Amino acid sequence: MAQTLAPAEAPAPAAAPSLSRHVGLLGAVLLVVGLAVFPHVVTSSYYVHLMVVIAIYAILILGLDIVVGYTGQVSLGHAGLFGVGAYAAAVLFLHFKLGLWWGILAGIGVTSAFGVLLAVPALRVTGPYLAMVTLAFGTIVQIFINELTPLTNGPLGITLPPARVLDFSLIGMQAPWGAAGRKLEFYYLVCLALLATILVVNRVVRSPYGRAFEALRDSPIACDCMGVSVYRYKVYAFVISAALAGLAGALFAWSERYVAPNSYGFELTVLFLLAVTMGGRKSRAGPIIGSAIIVMMPNVLADIALVRIMAGIIALAALVVGSLAFLRRQENRFALLVPVGLCLAFFPATLLLESVTDFRLTVFGLMILFVVYYLPDGIVGFVREKIPALRPAHTAEGKSLHAEGAALSAQSGGAGADPLLTVDQALMQFGGLKALAGVDLTVRPGTIHGLIGPNGSGKSTMMNVLTGIYRPTSGSVTLARGQGSKRLDGRTPSEIAAAGVARTFQNVQLFREMTALENVLVGLHHSFRGTLFDAILGTPRRRREEREQRARAMAILDFVGLGALAQVEARNLPYGKQRLLEIGRALALDPVLLLLDEPAAGLTAPDIAELTTIIRKIRDAGITVILIEHHMDVVMGLCDRVSVLDFGHKIAEGSAREVQADPKVVEAYLGSPVADEETAHA
């Protein structure tokens, strides 16, 4: 049984600025040409080597951006992963005389395994805990490299010979580009690795995987409730990130031709984080810019004359920008004085010092503070904000802004089965409080079932029990599926979502930094069949799927009346539209049962009218709806059946009219007149 509905509103695809779609391509071409001609323009081997280091760091930082930018976790363990990759390559040479290519394979393989290891604690903890865990991981790696002398040669480190990239002697030939060209082989290998990394990261972050990463960052709970397991996708993110760190590490070992335990410590990890934040998260250009900054910085600082000139320029710029802002803005004037003062003070400080090399880390520390407070979106984010044409156009990717396919496809899961959902004696206890004290509930298919009750009566608790966010203390929840039935209690939210139960949230839980279209695409995650390799290789199956699902997502957006807002970030939508988007996202799961938690809260009267129309259409498509709502006119107008909760007990059930007339319901909402009289007489 599949029903099709006409779009509620004609689609009005926003014309993507043509320039922005080409910016990425233009950047890529510039990068390729730049990398190709660089060693022929600048022949100094010192600068070629510097370029190699920048490219290697950029590979790692692009990977770090997946963890920091996309999944929003702080990792202080990436220098450790980098070290693991470098040592994997070096140890392979030390013990087995295996060269560069084996080293790269080993670096990626071993480091990915460590990525899984690092993901285990990361699954459970976030924020400062995760930062400490990853820091501990990095420290342990360093200790083991130092102590496992038989394997790693301990504190002495391992020296490697010049890397042999291509071995022409195997086929009995001379290198066609001569001795001078041979020296550049490694340079070009690293460049290719960088370009491949950019391509892979680009494809992964625009695939369902990348959307899952962003979704778990913005709202882990909603992510689970969309059937996207936070657990699984965090592992993916860490493994991809670790694999790139391993690739970078192996290349670094062969580029420096020397590995030592102390090169992979805390300072390096902080530098990587500085690079990713300063360059700009969630972009390809950002990590490359960041990498260039952290590699060049020590060289710049070594030249005191250059530092003085730069400090002078910074001071001048700070003075100009500061005084302009001081004149223009009335509020927060004095908040500006601190950064401006610091920038000004930097100049005389450099004049006083003979050398700033010893204060390298202080400069880096100040840069971190500056970036965190005044440039939180990095250089790329700042430029994008100033020049709208440079904003990412990936939302327009595929150009399939036309709607196609059925917005709703009700599944035959519950057809014929009656009731669809059975809750038997659900008990939910928090300490001494029984939020649900043994509630029975049966929901018949194809109906809108209202769940009402005063504040604190257990409605939302019921919702959380049904969707697996809470595990009920006792009692059962059963969903009819086809001929059989499925127990839902004790399952994870993502399993329950996969079984066909979708929900919205009382306090909106959208993926804030993603567009409306992407939000719906996360809901459609279940219909993507492509694997990670499809995503990385960009196979035809992957492209076809993406095209189809984007069209389907547009159909859903049209259905909830958001077709024209498809490319707007969720956080920028008006509140009423955010609520509708949540419903659209839930519908993308193709649910048999849709739970709406106070969808009308805070909506204006016209919005509520629109909402009731949509809910009716959803019911008419054969999707069963459970509606929690405080607007009684909405409840009475929509619901086929209403259950009333009070203090965790079900006190009434019946049609809207019956419930309205029930004295117990009136009492629960308004209090008992009898009790008042009694106290008055007493």
Partner 1 sequence: MAILLQLIASGVAVGMIYAAIAFGYQLTFATSKTLNFGQGEALALGALFGLTLVPFIGYWLMIPLVLVFGFALGAVVERLGVRPAVKIKSEYGWIMATIALGIIFKNVAENIWGRDDLKFPSPLPETALQVGGVRILPMELLIVAGALLMMLAVEIFNRKSIWGKAVVATSNDIDAAGLMGINTQKVITLSYSISAMTAAFAGVLVAPVTLTGATMGSVLALKAFAVAIIGGLESGLGVIVGGLILGVAETLTGFYISTGYKDVPGLILLLVVLSIRPVGLFGKAVIKKV
Cβ nearer to partner 1, comparing 112 with 509: 509
Site string for partner 1, 64-83 (x = CB under 8 A): ----x---x-x---------
Indicate which single residue of 82, 364, 528, 559 sits in contact with partner 1 (rule: CB under 8 A).
364
- Answer yes or no: are the C-beta atoms of 197 and 62 closer than 8 Å: yes
Q: Nearer to partner 1 by C-beta: 442 or 506?
A: 506
Contact between 131 and partner 1 by CB under 8 A: the answer reads yes
Instruction: Find the binder of partner 1 among 94, 368, 415, 564 (CB under 8 A).
Output: 368
* Min CB(411)–partner 1 separation in Å: 25
Residue 594's SS3 state is strand
Q: Count Cα neighbours of 346 within 13 Å in the Cβ-side half-sphere.
A: 27
Q: Could you say which DSSP state residue 353 is in?
A: -
Could you say which residues in the range 138-197 bind partner 1, by CB under 8 A?
139-140, 143-144, 146-147
**Pairing of β 433-443 and β 421-430:** antiparallel
Stretch that binds partner 1, among 1-9, 100-108, 136-144, 235-243 (CB under 8 A): 136-144
Half-sphere exposure of 656 (CA within 13 A, CB side): 16
- Count of chain residues binding partner 1 (CB under 8 A): 54
Provide the sign of the torsion angle of the four alpha carbons 58, 60, 66, 68, taken in this order: negative
Stretch that binds partner 1, among 115-123, 176-184, 534-542, 625-633 (CB under 8 A): 115-123
State in angstroms the smallest separation of the CB of 525 from partner 1. Answer: 20
Q: Minimum distance between the CB of residue 227 and partner 1, rounded to whole angstroms?
A: 17
CB 40 within 8 A of CB 224: no
* Shortest Cβ 613–partner 1 spacing (Å): 27
**C-beta closer to partner 1: residue 62 or 270:** 270
* Interface residue with partner 1, options 161, 365, 490, 602 (CB under 8 A): 365
- Cα-flanking dihedrals φ and ψ of residue 112, to 5°? -60, -40
131: DSSP letter: H
d(CA 378, CA 290): 9
Give whichever of 11 and 456 is closer to partner 1, judged by the CB atom.
456
Residue span 262-281 as binding mask against partner 1, x where in contact by CB under 8 A, dash where not: ----xx--x--x---x----
The rounded distance, in Å, linking the Cα atoms of 549 and 547 is 6
Strands 484-487 and 448-452 turn out to be unpaired
3-state secondary structure of 72: coil
Does 321 contact partner 1 by CB under 8 A?
Answer: no
To the nearest whole angstrom, how small is the minimum distance from the Cβ of residue 373 to partner 1? 6
Can you tell me which of 188, 359, 382, 669 binds partner 1, judged by CB under 8 A? Answer: 359
Cα 374 to Cα 365: distance, rounded to the nearest angstrom = 14
519 lines the binding site for partner 1 (CB under 8 A): no
Q: Does 133 bind partner 1 (CB under 8 A)?
A: yes
Question: Is residue 250 within 8 Å of residue 98, measured between CB atoms?
Answer: no
Residue 502 CB neighbour total at 10 angstroms? 26
- State the pairing for strand pair 649-654/641-646: antiparallel
Would you say 628 and 452 are in contact if contact means Cβ atoms under 8 Å apart?
yes
Phi, psi of 197 (to 5 degrees): -60, -45
- The answer to the question of residue 376 lying near partner 1 (CB under 8 A) is yes
Of 552 and 585, nearer to partner 1 (C-beta) is 585
- Cβ at position 26, least distance to partner 1 in Å: 31
Could you say whether residue 132 binds partner 1 (CB under 8 A)? yes
Nearer to partner 1 by Cβ, of 485 and 506: the residue is: 506
Q: Does 539 bind partner 1 (CB under 8 A)?
A: no
Binding partner 1 (rule: CB under 8 A), the pick from 109, 121, 157, 392 is 121
CB of 470 to partner 1, least distance (A): 7
Binding residues for partner 1 restricted to 476-515, rule: CB under 8 A? 505-507, 509
Q: Judged by CB under 8 A, which stretch of 133-141, 157-165, 172-180, 621-629 contacts partner 1?
A: 133-141
**DSSP notation for 363-425:** HHHHHHHHHHHH-TTHHHHHHHHH-GGGS--GGGTT---S--S-S----GGGTT-SSSEEEEE
| Residue number, 125 or 296, with CB nearest to partner 1 | 125
Residue 96 C-alpha from the chain's centroid: 41
Least distance (Å) from partner 1 to the CB of residue 452? 18
662 is a contact residue toward partner 1 (CB under 8 A):
no
Report if residue 385 touches partner 1, rule: CB under 8 A.
no
In the shown chain, the binding pattern of residues 425 to 464 toward partner 1, with x for contact by CB under 8 A and - for none, equals: -----x-----------------------------x--xx
- Which residues 6+ apart lie within 8 Å of 33 measured at CB? none
Question: Element (H or E) spanning 479, and its range?
Answer: strand 474-481
| 625 close to 596: Cβ distance less than 8 angstroms | yes
332: left (phi over 0), alpha (psi -120 to 50) or beta: left
Q: State which residue, 583 or 659, has the beta carbon closest to partner 1.
A: 583
Helix extents (H) in 125-219: 127-147, 149-152, 178-205, 208-218
Alpha-carbon distance of 473 to 392, in angstroms, equals 47
- Residues within the interface to partner 1 (CB under 8 A): 68, 72, 74, 120-121, 123-129, 131-133, 135-137, 139-140, 143-144, 146-147, 220-221, 266-267, 270, 273, 277, 358-362, 364-366, 368-369, 372-373, 376, 430, 460, 463-464, 469-470, 505-507, 509
